[in-house]
Chains A and B, each alone.
Chain A
């Protein structure tokens, strides 16, 4: 287990390349994101909306946010391990067009990659699936990620990674798994 300290503002710059939606000022809002609290907002109109509609400002902490943070944390980890993140492609936005795609492909065949894999005899790209959670790590998420990687891991040389980031009361914990055939 390794503990990494990180600078929340840097996550915001990773956001630009590697997520579908940008989270602005992660640093300023980190406590709200972390504790899943809704900050008190004074500018919500005093009257209710019709039916089950809710003002966007009153929406609960969104799963989207934890997903974005997890994707950023994954890139942050790759970068810290020395993997060239210029060779990391984010495929998640294209899943609608090609459902067999994982969240990321890593096309860096450098030495740093062996720090995550158990072999140096692998074929590029390495496929990666990322899951974020506001609660503890659950098996269903892991299963979902495994099934997604099952589409693309076809031979002994194909490698996949699953990164799961979840919150505990104090900080974020990330677990990384290597997936082989």
Chain B
């Protein structure tokens, strides 16, 4: 096997290494493919579908699809970005996302992606589901209103923290993240330093009492769109 794999993203010739996914190879070449459930260091999940690209005309999630010689990938096209906007809209109306009083605002990947792709308001009707908040733990809380079911906490806790505190239960529209206890987060052995807590892209899993330590206006995506670091080659390690 050759040391590099040549392929094309949006008319640009790209070189990647064998074993890389499309998303990884793109990122290494300064190309940002929008994503939500992907987080560096975690097993790709392929669930949010935002990183979907066309590979030789067929839709594939860039975070799970390995690169292959000569493949032609369509990423930053009006068609794909339109489909991504639809997915982001779906996530917004599926939960209860009120950016104006969410302490994650400015650091939220969902919000940042919406801005990057030019969404001002979702076009689908809000579902206003009834979801609960688990504030039983002294240091950490879960607000399921904001959960987008990306599974980053599930994977981080299982594979990085070695605790398996979170898991999906239920199916279809009843699917939700549950904790490994009879009832509440307080009954688990989660701690402030767990990777799981850092992994949440939205305001569903948060540390208490530090919500506004960084003021609005000085947050991650306040001045530059999400993905800018990848595009400017500043920080190939993308998401935090």
Q: Please say whether chains A and B are actual partners in one complex.
A: no
| B→A interface (CB under 8 Å) | none
Q: Interface on A for B, CB 8 Å cutoff?
A: none
